[in-house]
Amino acid sequence: MVSALGMAAVLGGCGSTGSSDVTLRLVAADYGDSAANSSKKYWDNLVDDYESQHPGVKIDVSVYSWNDVDRKVKDMVDAGHAPDLAQIGAYADYAAAGKLYQASELLSIRTQADFLSQLSDAGEWQHTQYGIPFAASTRVLFYNKTLFAKAGITPPTTWDELAADAAALKDKGVKYPYALPLGPEEAQAETMQWLLSGTDAESGGSGYTDDVGTYHINSQQNVNTFTWLKDDLVGKGLTGPDAPGKFNRADAFTAFADGQVGMLNGHPALIQQATKKGVKFGMVPTPGRTGTSRASMGVSDWMMAFKQNGHAEQIGDFLNFVYAEKNVLAFSREYGLLPVTSSASNVMSASDAAPDKALHPFLDQLPTSELYPVGKTSWAAVSAAVKKGIGQAVAPGGSPSTILTRLQATATTADSNDAS
């Protein structure tokens, strides 16, 4: 949403914040996989650029791994020493506790208007935006071109075609015809992609929730989706030797890069991983029940600003700089992620340069992507329950209806606790 409110609206592009000797503390997540490409280098370069134009403001950045960053911020907040800015995985708990600035209190109208609308909408808690999207990704179906050629098959567009392709791959001895990672690492992602692909346009909803944001995990369509997975993929031995509930995304990606997987849902990081190993792969939109899935799963990480120390003016000015087109593009290109602004997305979409072109299939999915219900403070508990239990829905003797109903009960309880 674009708001005409907020003192930062007149600050976009200013060279001075009208204040001096202010230090802003930013805690950020590390998107790199080595010291050579740590996010610290990105932030150091950006901060040097900003501080050279704003001599009265210093930006103190601490970068932590994704394993630690959310806990680090929570510890700081709990100790009464909240950072000014945090770039982490979730914002809703802090918004609900009244600890965050609204986006409209910080950002210029131009910056607010540039965010992709579905990402801005996902940053809302109780219809007000507190979470500012920072990086995004979507999912597509990756397939091994070499294995597909040997099996004489083409990429699927429907579930029936996917099952037929998987059967042909199995006949050729492929270890994982379709890799189905429903293990505790990231089962909530694979689950949501399948829920979305099983939802038709008429019934609406966005996987875990309905059109008004109420959990409907055990809807008949979702039960039908997991019944199909259990009976037509897992039950026919088309997902490989590992029980899906014990098979993690990282293991599935490694197996794909090792040439052992025919196809799987993947995000942009798999491009580099598979390319390094010399795997010849293609990418197509995720198949749906009767045609290409009406929506892909989107994921966004978040920037947020804490009110504890004040400094709204300086925070807003810095964030307007962070979200300048050149800076958004620099980050997205460095880490193979999708831009969160329309201006940077348009540049990337029009570019045929290698790093940009590789992301085009994911960019194509972004306008119709659906995100986790991150604006609900209950989502953390629901996500944890899905990671722990969804694999049982496709296990031998498992009941999709029973498992999804159990998860729905968890979600309903978590939601009512948050509302009380």
pLDDT tens digits, 125-162: 999 999 999 999 999 999 999 999 999 999 999 999 99
Task: State the Cα–Cα distance between residues 10 and 346, nearest whole angstrom.
Answer: 25
Nearest Cα residue to 316 out of 303, 329, 326: 303
Instruction: Please tell me the chain's helix, strand, coil percentages from 3-state DSSP, rounded to the nearest 5.
Output: 45, 15, 35
Q: Long-range contacts: 46-53, Cβ < 8 Å, 24+?
A: 46/321, 46/322, 46/327, 46/330, 50/318, 50/321, 53/15
Helix (H/G/I), strand (E/B), else coil: 264: strand
Tell me the whole-structure pTM to 2 decimals. 0.86
Task: State the Cα–Cα distance between residues 158 and 179, nearest whole angstrom.
Answer: 16
Whether the predicted pLDDT of 273 surpasses 50? yes
**Is 140-295+378-419 in the same CATH topology as 7-137+299-371?**
yes
**261 close to 255: Cβ distance less than 8 angstroms:** yes
Whether the predicted pLDDT of 412 surpasses 50? yes
In words, the CATH class of domain 7-137+299-371 is alpha beta
**94 close to 306: Cβ distance less than 8 angstroms:** yes
Indicate the CATH number for domain 140-295+378-419: 3.40.190.10
DSSP class per residue in 198-251: T--TTT---SSB-TTS-B-TT-HHHHHHHHHIIIIIITTT-S-SS-GGG--HHH
pLDDT tens digits, 77-118: 999 999 999 999 999 999 999 999 999 999 999 999 999 999
Residue 306 DSSP label: B
Whether the predicted pLDDT of 19 surpasses 60? no
* Domain map (residue ranges) of the chain: 7-137+299-371, 140-295+378-419
Please report, for the chain, how many H helices and E strands are present, in that order. 18, 12
Mean pLDDT, all residues of the chain: 91
Task: State the Cα–Cα distance between residues 131 and 103, nearest whole angstrom.
Answer: 7
